[in-house]
Chain A
């Protein structure tokens, strides 16, 4: 069964600290993995999209890694800011003729001053 699991479910950190969010997937066949940031009451916004051959991709203070062998990905946030408080969703696209995406349950991050 295609699944995407994220950990932790929620996380609280102090402003300025770094944090790492985890995503494990059992999706086959794999096409790509993406991380989204979703503010409360808003639609998700794309942070990174990674294909099978990409190990690391950065977008400002966000750095995503992908290990296709172990089927794991991480999202590292550097020097967190209050505006980083949001849910972070890991999504894996299934390589098929149709556009099928498997959504993780998300990690809710709270950055405190």
Chain B
């Protein structure tokens, strides 16, 4: 099956710094990528949907200036948490769908962000 590589798997940063999380589709072209946030013992919450080459569509309540999403190529999407604060600490996961895989969604392995 297709693989989505997400890194870093874990990041600890100081409050006020920015953190970039990358998701790469290794063996397919990801026409659409999704970014989620997950709190402990809760399900995934969609943050935004991005199509290659266009601006991301953010879910209601998600600050687009806080969570910058770039999907500049068919194999790479990035999520940058700007000026991170402790309340941004969470598990962030990406998923992708691509041509030739029908309805399948492929998820990255997630990034645990801890802001001190």
Contact = CB atoms under 8 A, between A and B. Distances in A.
Contact of B110 (A31, A42, A46): A42
Contacts, number: 50
Interface stretch (A56-64, A72-80, A95-103): A95-103
A29 interface: no
A103 B105 CA distance: 13
Give chain B's interface residue range (CB within 8 Å of chain A).
20 to 34
A101 B104 contact: no
A98 B49 contact: yes
B43 interface: yes
Given A41-B91, A43-B93, A98-B49, A89 B109 contact: no
B41 A108 contact: yes
Given A32-B103, A106-B43, A108-B41, A99 B6 contact: no
30 contacts: A31-B103, A32-B103, A36-B107, A41-B91, A41-B110, A41-B112, A42-B109, A43-B6, A43-B95, A43-B108, A43-B110, A44-B44, A44-B95, A44-B107, A45-B107, A46-B106, A49-B104, A89-B44, A93-B103, A98-B49, A98-B57, A99-B34, A99-B49, A101-B46, A101-B105, A103-B45, A103-B46, A104-B43, A105-B42, A106-B42
